Amino acid sequence: MIIAIEGCAHGELDQIYRSVENLSRQRNAKVDLLICCGDFQAVRNENDLQCMAVPEKFRQICTFHKYYSGELRAPVLTLFIGGNHEASNYLQELAYGGWVAPNIYYLGYAGVVKFGGIRIAGISGIFKGHDYLKGHFEKPPYTNGTMRSVYHVRNLEVFRLKQLKEDIDIFLSHDWPRGIYNYADTGELLHWKPFFRDEIANNVLGSQANESLLHEVKPKYWFAAHLHCRFAATVQHNETQSTHFLALDKCLPRRQYLELIEVPHNASQTLELCYDPHWLAILRSTNHLLSVHPTTQYMPSGGPGCRERYEFYPTEEEMGDVKTIFNDDYRIPLNFSQTAEPFRPRPNYNRNARQAEPQLNPQTTELCKKLGIDDPLEKLIGKPTIVSTPVFNPDEITLELDDEEEQLDEQPEKAIPVDSNEFFIVDTKPQKRSKMSLPQPQNETLDDVPLCTEKGPVIEATNITSSTEQVTEDDLPSTIKKFKRRNQALYVDPENSS
């Protein structure tokens, strides 16, 4: 089975599909599945744009709406997780996953699916300690704060993923597991990203939640994005289990954002996207742990005096119930339906647009009814009502920095208990950056770029390059005292930046 892995999509679906086609033609290989590691930006219309945490001047409709409306169809089955630059209102409709467009599937807050017998798990969003223990309390229309917190990882999803015992072939996340840089050539990473030096030295670069999942779930492959660079590592858990980690860049010229991997699979298995029965059973048995409140919600830990259940690996009875409910047929139904009007091109389309109103999705309603579980959005809003709410001034929104550095709140460190044996330390002190010095980029064509190949027969890499693109000022090293992020112009209004 050939799987294409892509880093941050940032709405550039047309370009990504062209790159997949070009690469598959170069390798003489048919791509069976495309996986995108976040910042997908499934924007259906200008109202969705107002629910995405970027300034007004950078809110571009991009190309997803063509696939949503049916004007175009994804040429390869596409699976993605959410990042921190998303049309969060749309993804909230599909908390447990679903089709955002024909042939394009979202994995949900967290999820596990099977494709041709390959088991794929993933978690959406990024880790922020101050929201980790809260419920999914956000709903559109968002405030300045909830527009960001809505994509922050919650302990419920991490807890559910830790109940998995069977082997996971592929795990997806947007941000990196903390400490992954210790399992490869850190010097090479710092050569290209010297401003990571302090975070690495203080062990704060990456997600603490993902770090715990990495060492507990032990998937064969882990793919991520977020920090806008390519980085590979291998984690040897024990004599028989290891994880091959690969982070990729975002879809831009002269960036390593796309790779092909070959994953052995059972040829007798049909290449269809299917639910994972163990995950369905876990969703059912942990439904009572779902919270839609901004208050602290601890997961069961099994500590002294605890009488409630704290291990939710499915029992034979629970697996039998799921088998009966689905009649032993776990194929994901092709039940995509539009829940908003698709974008119609016109001048000044984003002027005076308002945030989208919350909308329940029939896919989630159907799955929840079948499993007997709650839809988080329905618990928040009940049946949706139409309320005229003005959009917040996008220029006043304080943004998460999505690539080379993370914005840290000026609060003292605090420990967030995850279970009786584990603590996450939330380091909120701003880190100093060192200067960088990079060689002048070469103006190469696609044919001139050598194909990078990982050691071993499994992972192959490519550099997608355009000779028509010019090197910009943001591609050159900074010479001022305070380091300027390479892609800062994409997310920060220059008029308000320091």
pLDDT digits (tens, 9 = 90+) for 414-434: 444 444 334 343 333 434 434
β-pair type (118-123, 221-224): unpaired
Task: For 388-410, write each residue's pLDDT tens digit.
Answer: 333 334 333 344 444 433 433 33
One of 2.40.160.50, 3.40.1190.20, 3.90.550.10, 3.60.21.10 is the CATH number of 2-407+446-466, namely 3.60.21.10
- Residue-level pLDDT at 305: 79
Residues 205, 176 contacting (CB under 8 angstroms): yes
DSSP symbol at 391: P
pTM over 0.75: yes
Give the Cα-Cα-Cα angle 29, 32, 35 (nearest 5 degrees): 115
* Weakest-pLDDT range from 26-30, 62-66, 351-355, 369-373: 351-355
**Average pLDDT for residues 333-355, to the nearest whole number?**
88
Tell me phi and psi for residue 48, to 5 degrees.
Answer: -65, -35
Condensed to tens digits (0 to 9), the pLDDT of residues 183-228 reads 998 888 888 889 899 999 999 999 999 999 999 999 999 999 999 9
Residue-wise pLDDT for 71-117, tens only, equals 999 999 999 999 999 999 999 999 999 999 999 999 999 999 999 99
Checking if the pLDDT of 435 tops 60, the result is no
**Of 148, 151, 153, residue with least CA distance to 394:** 148
Asked if 342 contacts 90 with a C-beta cutoff of 8 angstroms, the reply is: no
pLDDT confidence of residue 230: 94
* Residue 52 burial by Cβ neighbours in a 10 Å radius (0-12, 13-18, 19+): buried
Of the pLDDT bands very low, low, confident and very high (cuts 50, 70, 90), residue 489 is low
Domain boundaries, given as residue ranges, for the chain: 2-407+446-466
Least confident of 72-76, 415-419, 436-440, 444-448: 444-448
Q: What is the mean pLDDT of residues 346-351?
A: 75
What is the number of other CB atoms lying within 10 angstroms of the CB of residue 115? Answer: 26
Query: What percentage of residues in the chain have a pLDDT greater than 90?
Result: 67
Percent of the chain topping pLDDT 70: 77
CA distance 32 to 15: 18
Helix (H, G, I), strand (E, B) or coil at 288: helix
Phi and psi angles of residue 289, each rounded to the nearest 5 degrees, phi first:
-85, -10
Task: For residues 287 and 374, give the distance between their C-alpha atoms in angstroms, rounded to a whole number.
Answer: 7
Tens of pLDDT, residue by residue over 254-313, are 899 999 999 998 888 999 999 999 999 999 999 999 999 999 999 998 878 788 999 999
